[in-house]
Amino acid sequence: MGTLLNALRRAVGDEHVLVDHDLKRAYETDWTGRFSGTAHAVVRPADTAEVVAVVRACREEGTPLVIQGGNTGLVGGGVPAGGEVLLSLTRLTAVREVDVPAAQVTVGAGVTLGMLQRHARVHGLDVGVDLAARDSATIGGMVATNAGGVRVLRYGSMRAQVAGAEAVLADGSVISRLGGLAKDNTGYDLVSLLCGSEGTLGILTQLRVRLVPQLPAAAVALLALSDTATAVDLLPVLRAGLPSLVAAELFLADGLALVRAHAGLPPPFPSAYPAYVLLECAAVTDPTQRLVDVVAELPDVLDSAVATDAAGRRALWAYREQHTEAINAAGVPVKLDVTVPLGSLPTLVERLPSAVAAVAPEVRLVLFGHVNEGNLHVNVLDAATRADAVTDVVLRLVSELRGSISSEHGIGRAKVPWLGLSRSATEITAMQAVKDALDPRGLLNPGVLLAARVTP
């Protein structure tokens, strides 16, 4: 192992090979505190050539790698199982000039979403994906996990924002498709395959990101409703009446109470209600009047608030965006991120409490999500000792409703045993064949997404 450490030090410089327990610790545990493992070393390369040298050194010794971006993942995909070299990509922060005519930009995998947003906005452009962890989540990690976020309704998930990528493969060779051609119909879309592959097929080092026009005028509304079914019923009216709609987010009474207690926020309305939907409209010209008019005509809205100035918009968004932080402050949650067909979302919300209570009566359930995609974030507090039973009952219910066991967070280590609920045996065999072709020795993120192969 001393040979490996020496080779890694030669590859990236002594100060970027961390072996000290205290220095490694921040990388070895995920953001939620639920997943952790000991890395042989944490290695912090600065560019693609250094990533190649690290991969070659690990391959030589047969030591697997765990790939990590901003460590904001929620399914344990970026933390070690034990003994791997942890490759942190946060130093790959090169940012190229924005290609304004093409509305694209090439950036290093370690650039955070917040950095990219600021870089694009100088040119009146923006990133189609946005999420609460914007100041820590890296573009490489977001592509590797095909992150979703709060604007999927308008722009799609991260995969839709990717015009090209550079990646280091398990044998140390490099795929580079950063030309950003708008049309390129030349066979297998390897870049798209890497999106959402969770570091199991290659290490993304640079990304060519599609940008969207920045929409400077925004308005936000918060609606109080009697239930999730009303939220779903309103969607067609909202989409038709508000072409400027970019976000439609759902949260419930107990989540709001938790957020308010954690962040010390005032109530949004004089009374409490069972369900809330937050809408954001963004456009070139002020969408406020249109939003106010549409909201006034909506049936079954029990109360509403509209904010136009930046401070007011932030205040309404805080009720939704602070959910993750408030939940984590209350304990280490079992986090499940699921999608069901929209028509089944109310059934899921209705059936979850009793389904979970049947296996873990004492737990606290916090539900919120991206209502337009039927995407519910199921957070279960005080469930640490019953994590597998809770996961099993929730994911089986989702599967029964013909949903997906991962909407946007990925499979990671957390959901590997349940992959068969969303993918057929034939699909999993095909996925394993792709993995074996690109990474025959199982060096990249073993045990993430697909079960680790036991080497004979």
The residues of the shown chain that bind ligand 2HG, judged by CB under 6 A, are 132, 324, 335, 377, 379, 408
Which is closer to ligand 2HG, CB of 24 or CB of 335? 335
Q: CB of 357: closest distance to ligand 2HG in angstroms? A: 20
Q: CB of 369: closest distance to ligand 2HG in angstroms? A: 7
Q: CB of 149: closest distance to ligand 2HG in angstroms? A: 7
Which is closer to ligand 2HG, CB of 206 or CB of 328? 328
| Phi and psi at residue 140, to the nearest 5° | -60, -45
Q: CB of 428: closest distance to ligand 2HG in angstroms? A: 25
Q: CB of 323: closest distance to ligand 2HG in angstroms? A: 6
Q: Are 120 and 105 in contact (CB under 8 A)?
A: yes
What span, in angstroms and rounded, lies between the C-alpha atoms of 234 and 342?
A: 12
Q: Are 146 and 197 in contact (CB under 8 A)?
A: no
Which is closer to ligand 2HG, CB of 37 or CB of 148? 148
Which is closer to ligand 2HG, CB of 373 or CB of 439? 373
Q: CB of 69: closest distance to ligand 2HG in angstroms? A: 15
Which is closer to ligand 2HG, CB of 71 or CB of 379? 379
Which is closer to ligand 2HG, CB of 41 or CB of 275? 275
Q: Which residues contact 296 (CB under 8 A, 6 or more apart)?
A: none
**Structural element, H or E, at residue 69:** none
* DSSP for residue 342: G
What span, in angstroms and rounded, lies between the C-alpha atoms of 221 and 280?
A: 7
Q: CB of 221: closest distance to ligand 2HG in angstroms? A: 19
Q: In 174-302, which ranges are E strands? A: 174-177, 203-213, 217-225, 245-252, 275-283
Which is closer to ligand 2HG, CB of 43 or CB of 366? 366
Q: Are 181 and 162 in contact (CB under 8 A)?
A: no
**Beta bridge mates, 207:** 107, 165
What span, in angstroms and rounded, lies between the C-alpha atoms of 370 and 362?
A: 27
Which is closer to ligand 2HG, CB of 125 or CB of 338? 338
In whole angstroms, how large is the CA radius of gyration of the chain?
22
Which is closer to ligand 2HG, CB of 51 or CB of 247? 247
What span, in angstroms and rounded, lies between the C-alpha atoms of 266 and 65?
A: 46
Q: CB of 377: closest distance to ligand 2HG in angstroms? A: 4
Please compute, for residue 456, the number of CA atoms within 13 A of its CA located in the half-sphere on the CB side.
Answer: 0
What is the distance of C-alpha 2 from the center of its chain?
36
Q: Scanning the structure block, which residue is given the tokens 């999500």? A: 369
Q: Are 395 and 405 in contact (CB under 8 A)?
A: yes
What span, in angstroms and rounded, lies between the C-alpha atoms of 229 and 240?
A: 18
Q: CB of 379: closest distance to ligand 2HG in angstroms? A: 5
Burial of 80 (0-12, 13-18, 19+ CB in 10 A): buried
